[in-house]
Amino acid sequence: MAFSIAEAFAPATVANLGVGFDILGMALDGMGDRAVVQFKDSPGIVISDISGDDGALPREPSENVASVSARAFLEHIGERRGISIKLSKGLPLASGLGSSAASAVVSVVALNKLAGSPFTQEELLPFCLEGEALVSGYHADNIAPCLLGGIVLVAGTAVADLQPLPVPAALMLALVTPAVPVPTNAARAILPAQVPLRQLIQQTGNVARLIDALHRGDLEALGAAIEGDQIIEPARRDLMPHLDAARAAAKSAGAIAVFIGGAGPTLCAICDNDSGAQAAAAAMEAVYQEAAMRCLAQVAAVDHRGAYCICAR
Domain count along the chain = 2
Q: Is residue 311, in this structure, part of any structural domain at all?
A: no
- 216 Cβ partners below 8 Å, 6+ apart? none
Counted residue by residue, the chain has a size of 313
Q: Is residue 310, in this structure, part of any structural domain at all?
A: no
Domain stop point among 165, 199, 218: 165
Q: Is residue 286, in this structure, part of any structural domain at all?
A: yes
- Under 8 Å between Cβ of 299 and 273: no
- Under 8 Å between Cβ of 177 and 268: no
Residues 179 and 267 in one domain: yes
Residues 95 and 75 in one domain: yes
Residues 39 and 154 in one domain: yes
For residues 284 and 269, give the distance between their C-alpha atoms in angstroms, rounded to a whole number. 9
Residues 86 and 22 in one domain: yes
Q: What is the CATH classification number for the domain harbouring 123?
A: 3.30.230.10
Residues 159 and 188 in one domain: no
* Domain residue limits at 24: 5-165
* pLDDT at residue 1, as a whole number: 62
Residues 207 and 67 in one domain: no
* Positive or negative: CA dihedral 93, 98, 104, 107: negative
* pLDDT at residue 131, as a whole number: 95
Low-confidence spans in the chain with pLDDT less than 70: 1
- Under 8 Å between Cβ of 254 and 191: no
Residues 241 and 294 in one domain: yes
3-state SS assignment for residue 20: coil
For residues 45 and 130, give the distance between their C-alpha atoms in angstroms, rounded to a whole number. 15
DSSP string, 233-302: HHHHGGGSTTHHHHHHHHHHTT-SEEEE-TTSS-EEEEESSHHHHHHHHHHHHHHHHHTT--EEEEEE-B
Residues 112 and 180 in one domain: no
Residues 232 and 281 in one domain: yes
Q: What is the CATH classification number for the domain harbouring 237?
A: 3.30.70.890
Domain stop point among 165, 182, 206: 165
For residues 10 and 32, give the distance between their C-alpha atoms in angstroms, rounded to a whole number. 5
Which value, to the nearest 10 degrees, does the dihedral of the CA atoms of residues 123, 127, 130, 135 take?
Answer: -90
**Whole-prediction pTM:** 0.95
Residues 71 and 49 in one domain: yes
Domain stop point among 165, 196, 213: 165
* pLDDT at residue 77, as a whole number: 95
Residues 55 and 156 in one domain: yes
